[in-house]
Amino acid sequence: MLYPILAIVIGLVLLVWSADRFVIGAAACARNFGMSPLLIGLTIVAFGTSAPEILVSTMASLADAGNLAVGNALGSNIANIALVLGVTALIAPLPVKSGVLRREIPLLIAVTVFAGFILLDLKLTRIDGVLLLCTLATCLFLFNRFQKMNGNDELSGADEEELPELTTGPALLWLLLGLTVLIVSSRMLVWGATEVALALGISELIIGLTIVAIGTSLPELAASITSALKGHHDIAIGNVVGSNIFNLAAVMAVPGLIAPLEMEQLVMLRDYSAMLIATLLLAAFALWQRPRTISRLEGGLLGAAYAGYMGLLYTMSV
**How many separate domains does the chain show?**
1
Rounded to 10 degrees, the C-alpha dihedral 230/235/236/242 comes to: -150
Q: How far apart are CA 123 and CA 128, in angstroms?
A: 9
pLDDT digits (tens, 9 = 90+) for 206-216: 988 988 888 77
Asked, for residue 95, whether it belongs to a domain, the answer is: yes
pLDDT of amino acid 137: 92
pLDDT of amino acid 43: 60
Asked, for residue 61, whether it belongs to a domain, the answer is: yes
25 pLDDT tier (thresholds 50, 70, 90): confident
Instruction: Give the three-class secondary structure for 271.
Output: helix
Taking residues 220-240, what's their average pLDDT? 70
Residue 143 pLDDT greater than 50, yes or no: yes
Residue 160 pLDDT greater than 70, yes or no: no
Top-confidence residue, 155 or 204:
204
Q: How far apart are CA 61 and CA 75, in angstroms?
A: 16
Residue 81 pLDDT greater than 50, yes or no: yes
Q: Which domain holds residue 223?
A: 50-159+189-317
Q: How much of the chain exceeds pLDDT 70, in percent?
A: 86
Asked, for residue 18, whether it belongs to a domain, the answer is: no
Asked, for residue 11, whether it belongs to a domain, the answer is: no
Residue 158 pLDDT greater than 90, yes or no: no
Domain CATH for 249: 1.20.1420.30
pLDDT of amino acid 162: 54
Q: Which of 55, 48, 11, 4 is nearest to 219 (CA)?
A: 48
Top-confidence residue, 98 or 275:
275
Asked, for residue 135, whether it belongs to a domain, the answer is: yes
Contact 58, 198 (CB under 8 A): no
CA triple 142-148-153, angle to 5 deg? 120
Asked, for residue 259, whether it belongs to a domain, the answer is: yes
Taking residues 85-114, what's their average pLDDT? 87
Top-confidence residue, 48 or 275:
275
pLDDT digits (tens, 9 = 90+) for 170-196: 888 988 898 788 778 877 887 888 788
pLDDT of amino acid 234: 59
**What's the predicted TM-score (pTM) here?**
0.80
105 to each of 158, 196, 238, 281, 314, how far by Cα in Å? 21, 36, 9, 11, 30
